[in-house]
């Protein structure tokens, strides 16, 4: 007897139910879930908690979303819709447009710090309409920018990998910062004595250059480091362009 193959579990592979409860839509559920995540983080996202915020029982939510995993796929795709990717007509516009796209992706992650603990558990997020739209536009950007068709996807992967990696680290830092109730500057001032004490046996870490880092505005320093790394990534990618 033939064994029926199980379909991969994902909100993007399951047919959407044709009849929805008029008082509650999937779009409302996703919007409220994003608001909950922004306010309280991933640990607070439960169907019960979300239902309470919507003045609806968890059963009502299950009419639209099969489980929490599907909900996570939906909220991730929702915030990816915030990313802006410009269309270009001149290959010379590639670097500026790519910088803007990278900045938009980073800004999205920092607006939604819960993404730092989410990207490893989002299932088939790349099938969501917003992620598909972003990817399509990035392929267009890189193709017009002079990348061969067979290389554009890998080049995009390098860029996104850098931005997501840095963004996740920043988001984790900002999440920890929020728990302290301090400003970033206040926290750094408080950490400095302990950090300098710990560096006493490490000459490179107690150099004048290392000490100068403590005197920088921490937000500006993060922006500078992101821009430096992005420029180096784009320098490397630029060598692969056929222009």
pLDDT at 211: 76
pLDDT (tens place) for every residue of the chain, 243 residues total: 454 555 566 777 767 655 544 578 999 999 999 999 999 988 899 999 999 999 887 778 888 888 888 899 999 999 999 999 999 999 999 999 999 999 999 999 999 999 877 876 665 567 889 999 999 999 999 999 999 999 999 999 999 999 999 999 999 899 889 889 999 999 999 999 999 899 889 988 887 777 788 888 999 999 999 999 999 999 999 999 987
Q: Which domains does the chain have, with CATH numbers?
A: 91-238 (1.10.357.10)
Dihedral angle of Cα 30, 161, 13, 139, to the nearest 10 degrees: 100
The Cα 153–Cα 32 span in angstroms is 33
Give the separation between CA 33 and CA 89, rounded to whole angstroms: 38
């Amino acid at each position: 007897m033939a064994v029926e193959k199980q379909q991969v579990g994902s909100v993007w592979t399951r047919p959407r139910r044709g009849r929805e409860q008029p008082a509650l839509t999937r779009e409302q559920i996703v919007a409220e879930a994003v608001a909950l995540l922004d306010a309280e983080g991933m640990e607070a996202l439960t169907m019960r908690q979300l239902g309470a915020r919507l003045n609806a029982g968890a059963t009502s939510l299950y009419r639209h979303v099969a489980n929490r995993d599907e909900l996570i796929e939906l909220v991730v795709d929702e915030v990816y819709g915030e990313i802006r990717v410009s269309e270009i007509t001149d290959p010379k516009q590639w670097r500026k447009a790519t910088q803007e796209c990278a900045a938009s992706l980073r800004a999205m992650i920092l607006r939604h710090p819960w993404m730092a603990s989410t990207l490893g558990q989002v299932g088939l997020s790349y099938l969501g309409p917003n992620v598909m739209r972003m990817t399509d536009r990035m392929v267009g950007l890189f193709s017009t920018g002079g990348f061969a068709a067979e290389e554009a996807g890998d080049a995009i992967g390098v860029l996104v990998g850098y931005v997501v990696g840095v963004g996740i680290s920043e988001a984790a830092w900002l999440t920890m910062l929020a728990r302290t109730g301090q400003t970033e500057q206040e926290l750094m001032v408080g950490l400095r004595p302990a950090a300098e004490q710990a560096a006493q046996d490490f000459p490179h870490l107690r150099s004048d250059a290392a000490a100068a880092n403590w005197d920088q505005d921490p937000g500006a320093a993060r922006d500078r480091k992101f821009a430096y790394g992005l420029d180096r990534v784009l320098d490397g990618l630029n060598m692969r362009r056929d222009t």
